Amino acid sequence: MFKKELSYYFSTPIAYIVIGLFLLAVSLFLWVIPGQWNVIESGYAQVDGLFQIAPWLLMLVCPALTMRLFAEERQSGTWLLLRAQPIELWKIVVGKYMAAFLLTVMALLPCVVHYFIVYYMAEPMGNIDSGQFIGSMMGLVFLSASFTGIGMLCSTLTMSQLVAFILGVVSCFVLYWVTLQDHYSSISRGVVDLSDVVFFLSIAIVAIIVSIIISNRISKR
């Protein structure tokens, strides 16, 4: 199921469009658009703007990648065909989740380019807090794990991809604003606390479990 979902993403324009827009938006905010996130205007050898703007962009990216996972299957009628195959339900759900999560991580990896640009621009060269950058990138990965789970859960609630996307964006925003932001801020300072990691993974695991329960009920209808 994991390979099937991953191959589907790259056989359609959705993966390229979503990842491309994400990377374009990050680059524009860091280097072109004037403001607090602009590296050149800040006058410091740092890419803090990346870790301030990325969470808000991921609120759009993750729901965009997960909105079709279950909604499209139900709308097209392929969900019943999928359930008729000798594949356990939890494997289907986890496979879909891992494919979407891996795609999100793949969208984050090119952001390392900004680190190397600032690394070579710094005076003296290399005068950048590498430890904080690594910690912040880990924070984005863990945040993506939570957002992907939330987006997938929203996809199980409806047959409309648009509704699933809107629900995902709103849910990610509310959870980030209420609780996830505090845990992310801690990691983005370069302090990787086990409690923060466990919290992010707990959100993802709970979302996966609830998705399995909802999917099981849909199959019995």
**Predicted pLDDT of residue 45:** 63
Where do the domains of the chain lie?
2-220
* Dist CA 141 CA 107 (whole Å): 10
Asked whether the beta carbons of 100 and 62 are under 8 A apart, the reply is yes
Tokens for 191? 């302090």
Q: Is 160 left (phi over 0), alpha (psi -120 to 50) or beta?
A: beta
- Burial string for 24-59 (b: 16+ CB within 10 Å, else e) reads ebbbebbeeeeeebbbeeeeebbbbbbbebbbebbb
Residue 80, classed as helix, strand or coil, is helix
Asked whether the beta carbons of 135 and 192 are under 8 A apart, the reply is yes
**Predicted pLDDT of residue 80:** 73
Q: Which parts of the chain register pLDDT below 50?
A: none
122 Cβ contact partners less than 8 Å away, ≥ 6 residues apart: 45, 128
93-117 pLDDT per residue, tens: 999 999 999 999 999 999 999 989 8
**Predicted pLDDT of residue 37:** 77
Tokens for 220? 């019995």
**Predicted pLDDT of residue 54:** 94
Tokens for 153? 């859960």
Task: State how far the alpha carbon of 68 is from the alpha carbons of 111, 158, 176, 190, 200, in Å.
Answer: 26, 10, 22, 34, 23
* Dist CA 150 CA 143 (whole Å): 11
**Residue carrying the six token digits 């019943």:** 80
157-182 pLDDT per residue, tens: 999 999 999 999 999 999 999 999 99
- Burial string for 159-173 (b: 16+ CB within 10 Å, else e) reads bbbeebbebbbebbb
DSSP label at residue 110: G
